[in-house]
Structure 1
Amino acid sequence: MPPIKRTRITMPRNTPRKTNHTRQLLTVKEVAQLDNCSEKTVRRAIAAGLLDVIRVGPGGRLIRIDPSAHAAYRRAQLL
């Protein structure tokens, strides 16, 4: 009797889907550098609800800011 040929069926890993629209989110540090202020000032604006954020990562601990939300915040500060 010939040996049994075994084959392994593998499933694709959970890789992020490639999309046509990739947006670059900003960190608190990057926003602070763009606005020439401290990270604490940016965090105060977030806490006051003046700057919209996106929470990512485990438990939503990481804060990211969409560039359009940052632009809206800057426009509101100029008024």
Structure 2
Amino acid sequence: MQQPTPKKTDRPRALLTVREVAELDHCSEKTVRRAIAAGLLEVVRVGPGGRLLRIDPAAHAAYRAVSRW
């Protein structure tokens, strides 16, 4: 007899795209990509070969806390 598998109650976390971060910060995508290249904004690489960049909302919040003047 097979036991039922427990259902996951946690939804996957919603990751932000470079475009979404740029819109939230009212800046260009290039500015966001520069912050990523400088190591100021942590990203998660997904997709084939890790080409797609996604930003965790917590990493974005940490970046905004440091980068605001």
Give the alignment's TM-score, normalised by structure 2.
0.84
- Say which SS state the counterpart of residue 53 (structure 2) adopts: strand
Residue correspondences, number: 62
CA deviations over 1:11-68 (Å, ceiling 9, x no partner): xxxxxxx561421000000000000000000000000000000000000000000000
| Distance of 1:36 and 1:70 partners within structure 2 | 13
Which structure has the higher relative contact order (CA within 8 Å, separation 6+)? Answer: 2
Give the alignment's TM-score, normalised by structure 1.
0.74
Residue of 32, 44, 60 corresponding to 1:42: 32
Percent identity reads 74
Unaligned runs of 5+ in 1: 1-17
Residue of 58, 62, 65 corresponding to 1:72: 62
